[in-house]
Chain A
Amino acid sequence: MAFKKSVVAFAGTPEQEAKLKAVIDAEKGHKGALMPVLQQAQEIYGYLPIEVQTMIAEEMGIPLEKVYGVVTFYSQFTINPKGKYKISVCLGTACYVKGSGDVYNKLSESLGIKGGELTSDGLFSLEACRCIGACGLAPVMTINDDVYGRLTVDEIDGILAKYRG
């Protein structure tokens, strides 16, 4: 398999690096510290490009291939940056039987991107998620921290327009 490198050039700041080092210092030595470190690193940088993975590997004394293996195993870790607005459509069972698949397809069509991709203006990224547990509101999607429930396909373009400003 080709080595997966982020499509966007890495632009980390010294402040971010200092924060990451502080996180590693606090967690280092705890059993099973890699996951919490990766989670906090993703909070700092927004994603986990190979540059960040390398820093973590070196600071923690863990082989890079192990770090990379863990990063690519879990769906919450991303090696590509997300959009300014992260759209996440629930494709859990309760939402699916109420038509969230149509909502997802409509979003993909309107944005011109597939799941896991980012629009060329960097505004939106789209992904499917597994059940956020708001099944009473099915079908549900979230855009950053905003939750949209009882969605219909017709509402999608109007909602996107709000974020395009």
Chain B
Amino acid sequence: MYRSHVLVCGGTGCTSSGSGAIIAKLEEELKKNGLEEEIEVVKTGCFGLCALGPIMIVYPEGAFYSMVKAEDIPEIVTEHLLKGRVVERLLYSETVTENGIKALSDTNFYRKQHRVALRNCGVINPENIDEYIAFDGYKALAKVLTEMTPEQVIDTVLASGLRGRGGGGFPTGKKWQLARNLVKDADQKYVCCNADEGDPGAFMDRSVLEGDPHVVIEAMAIAGYAIGATQGYIYVRAEYPIAVQRLQIAIKQAREYGLLGKNIFGLGFDFDLDIRLGAGAFVCGEETALMTSIEGNRGEPRPRPPFPAESGLFQKPTVLNNVETYANIPQIILNGAEWFASMGTEKSKGTKVFALGGKIHNTGLVEIPMGTTLREVIYEIGGGIPNGKQFKAAQTGGPSGGCIPAAHLDIPIDYDNLIAIGSMMGSGGLIVMDENNCMVDIAKFFLEFTVDESCGKCTPCRIGTKRLYEMLEKITSGNATLEDLDKMEKLCYYIKNNSLCGLGQTAPNPVLSTLRYFKDEYIAHVTEKKCPAGVCQDLLTYKIIDIKCKGCTACARGCPVGAITGTVKQPHVIDTDKCIKCGACMAKCKFGAIIKE
């Protein structure tokens, strides 16, 4: 029995900010003070509040230490763990009250969250199967194998209303039903997991794999039982080394416990799993491309039908779901379809995990019931926009999604509402932008991404996205006409309607949604040759404001091309012909006398 547990986040965010060194130091200090028998250090998955990492929680007090450094560890050990005095200066400020520590669940960041998929992340040690089992792990698999027929499993998932969390939102139960029934006499079927989280800025799948890998294994075995498959593949990004390693450990442990492999639970059901690493191709998030990649080919999509439920991996009936979708399955089996369906909106049940990023205080992972408004997520959970800036747009759905303006902040978030306002759920990246972000530049950023990631198989996507990118370039360099805007919009619809797979069909969305809500910015670029947000270099001019300039010469000395002239203690001047718009002068000026417009 340990009298105290210290949970340290070992997710990618906190590992990147140095949690590995903290754990090592903690273990060293505990040993030095003879506490290693009394206090257990647990390396967990992600707590969600990545902005404050590295994060450490000490139980039973529930003291939430944030931005911990290795130098702080001796103090935490001698003061808190030895003498029982919480080190207040290191606590997350919001948890400090006059009457002691406020529970984490009462803070703004966590209060409106409801954790289903992330239930075990930041709670258990993901490298220890016993901890997963202690939190009802593999109980759903046991229930399915002993008490339910495959049809009952499918009916439960159907009734829960669970829809694919990878972006498309296809009903999961329906997918399973098709894979079970479409081909009656298949000699082999497969269950696949899409962990090729390619949407830049979304990292919920990675956090589940890092923080709770067994939940995916358990859910895939349940899916295998439901559709009649004995083999599964997890296709995971090679850029996620911690996730891959924890998955490997988890699969090994599950095999040792007889929870994977032959004759699971001694009940005659066989199911095994293999990991396949991606190699950096966004298109492999598309289901047919993913399967082609597992087969060892260039990850190009193929036309559907036939759908994977009929002819998928190695031409066999296949079910493919994403990580977050699977993470909901064991809870649905244990708590029932009604429980799950009681959360969310009419057509979007349950919860959704979002990765909050960009211009927002509390960057990190949040899980909220469907139907929560964007305003609640950004201002209450996310803590609003830093530096007193104005909210401009929230981008959801990554390169396939769109930008949502302030006017739609009060729309309840669900699949259908997001599509209605020109964006989409996607895998759940939610990037906040403020007045300093140029929406034309953002659209161009996403198009650059899709041009790069287009696999090249079909012409509308390969050539269309390239042309679209060039049009955006024309706009941001001040060479476009209003006619180009119309042409661009037409091209968007052409690409959407004619591309082979989801990548091309959604690639124009960032352009269309910014055209819809921020047309004035496009027009400013075209007619006034100005970038209102001050981002597009070609349209900017740097200027010195006479009355603010003290003539300190710092800017002239900092200018790499000698474009600034003036005498000491007299206002300086920028020669706009020579200026290369590098911004060095602006960074050097201590008086705020240099502006760009």
List which B411-453 residues lie within 8 A (CB) of chain A: 429, 431, 433, 437, 442, 445-446, 449
A94 to chain B: which residues have CB within 8 Å? 200-201, 355, 357-358, 363, 429, 431
B203 to chain A: which residues have CB within 8 Å? 131, 133, 135
Flag if B50 contacts A134 (CB, 8 Å). Answer: yes
Kindly identify which residue among A32, A75, A140 contacts B281, using a CB–CB cutoff of 8 Å.
Answer: A75
A149 to chain B: which residues have CB within 8 Å? 16-17
B239 located at the interface, meaning its Cβ lies under 8 Å from any Cβ of chain A in the complex: yes
Kindly identify which residue among B13, B202, B206 contacts A137, using a CB–CB cutoff of 8 Å.
Answer: B13
B357 to chain A: which residues have CB within 8 Å? 93-94, 97, 135-136, 138
Interface string of A26-40 (1 = CB under 8 A from B): 000001111110110
Flag the segment in A1-9, A14-22, A66-74, A117-125 that touches B.
Answer: A66-74
Q: Which residue of A lies closest to B300 (CB)?
A: A73
Chain B min CB distance to A30 (Å): 9
List which B292-337 residues lie within 8 A (CB) of chain A: 293-300, 314
B278 to chain A: which residues have CB within 8 Å? 74, 76
- Give the complex CA separation of A154 and B278 in angstroms: 35
- Give the complex CA separation of A145 and B398 in angstroms: 27
A31 to chain B: which residues have CB within 8 Å? 295-296, 314
Flag if A136 contacts B50 (CB, 8 Å). Answer: yes
B103 located at the interface, meaning its Cβ lies under 8 Å from any Cβ of chain A in the complex: no
Flag if B298 contacts A97 (CB, 8 Å). Answer: no
B543 located at the interface, meaning its Cβ lies under 8 Å from any Cβ of chain A in the complex: no
Q: Which residue of B lies closest to A73 (CB)?
A: B298
List which A66-119 residues lie within 8 A (CB) of chain B: 66, 69-70, 73-77, 91-94, 96-98
Q: Which residue of A lies closest to B436 (CB)?
A: A97
Flag if A131 contacts B16 (CB, 8 Å). Answer: no
Flag if B12 contacts A132 (CB, 8 Å). Answer: yes
B23 located at the interface, meaning its Cβ lies under 8 Å from any Cβ of chain A in the complex: no
Interface string of B381-423 (1 = CB under 8 A from A): 0000000000000010010000000000000000000000000
Chain A min CB distance to B429 (Å): 7
A73 to chain B: which residues have CB within 8 Å? 281, 298-300, 455
Chain A min CB distance to B5 (Å): 24
List which B1-31 residues lie within 8 A (CB) of chain A: 12-13, 15-17
Q: Which residue of B lies closest to A129 (CB)?
A: B239
Flag if B298 contacts A98 (CB, 8 Å). Answer: no
List which B354-371 residues lie within 8 A (CB) of chain A: 355, 357-359, 363-364
B464 located at the interface, meaning its Cβ lies under 8 Å from any Cβ of chain A in the complex: no
Chain A min CB distance to B159 (Å): 34
Query: In the complex, how many residues of chain B place their beta carbon closer than 8 angstroms to a beta carbon of chain A?
Result: 54
List which B195-209 residues lie within 8 A (CB) of chain A: 197-203, 206
Q: Which residue of A lies closest to B275 (CB)?
A: A36
Flag if A136 contacts B364 (CB, 8 Å). Answer: yes
A156 located at the interface, meaning its Cβ lies under 8 Å from any Cβ of chain B in the complex: no
Kindly identify which residue among B13, B200, B280 contacts A74, using a CB–CB cutoff of 8 Å.
Answer: B280
B281 to chain A: which residues have CB within 8 Å? 73-75
Flag if B13 contacts A136 (CB, 8 Å). Answer: yes
- Give the complex CA separation of A91 and B280 in angstroms: 14
A159 located at the interface, meaning its Cβ lies under 8 Å from any Cβ of chain B in the complex: no
Q: Which residue of B lies closest to A31 (CB)?
A: B314
A38 to chain B: which residues have CB within 8 Å? 279
- Give the complex CA separation of A75 and B395 in angstroms: 25
If A98-B359, A137-B17 touch, whether A77 touches B279 (CB-CB below 8 Å) is: yes
Flag if A32 contacts B16 (CB, 8 Å). Answer: no
Chain A min CB distance to B340 (Å): 27
Kindly identify which residue among B53, B199, B437 contacts A136, using a CB–CB cutoff of 8 Å.
Answer: B53
Flag if A135 contacts B50 (CB, 8 Å). Answer: yes
If A39-B238, A94-B363, A134-B12 touch, whether A76 touches B279 (CB-CB below 8 Å) is: yes
B282 located at the interface, meaning its Cβ lies under 8 Å from any Cβ of chain A in the complex: yes
- Give the complex CA separation of A138 and B53 in angstroms: 12
B449 to chain A: which residues have CB within 8 Å? 130
B132 located at the interface, meaning its Cβ lies under 8 Å from any Cβ of chain A in the complex: no
B121 located at the interface, meaning its Cβ lies under 8 Å from any Cβ of chain A in the complex: no
What 19 additional pairs, Cβ within 8 angstroms, besides A97-B431, A131-B239, A135-B13? A32-B295, A32-B296, A34-B297, A36-B276, A39-B277, A70-B297, A74-B299, A76-B278, A92-B201, A96-B200, A131-B199, A132-B12, A135-B355, A136-B363, A136-B364, A137-B16, A137-B50, A137-B53, A154-B587
| Interface of A toward B, CB cutoff 8 Å | 31-36, 38-39, 66, 69-70, 73-77, 91-94, 96-98, 129-138, 140, 147, 149, 154
| Interface of B toward A, CB cutoff 8 Å | 12-13, 15-17, 50-53, 197-203, 206, 238-240, 276-282, 293-300, 314, 355, 357-359, 363-364, 395, 398, 429, 431, 433, 437, 442, 445-446, 449, 455, 587
The 21 listed contacts between A and B (C-beta, < 8 Å) are A32-B295, A35-B293, A73-B298, A74-B281, A77-B279, A92-B200, A96-B445, A97-B433, A97-B437, A98-B359, A130-B200, A130-B280, A130-B282, A133-B203, A134-B50, A135-B355, A135-B357, A136-B17, A137-B50, A138-B358, A140-B16
**6 closest Cβ contacts across the A-B interface?**
A136-B50, A92-B200, A94-B357, A74-B279, A133-B203, A34-B296
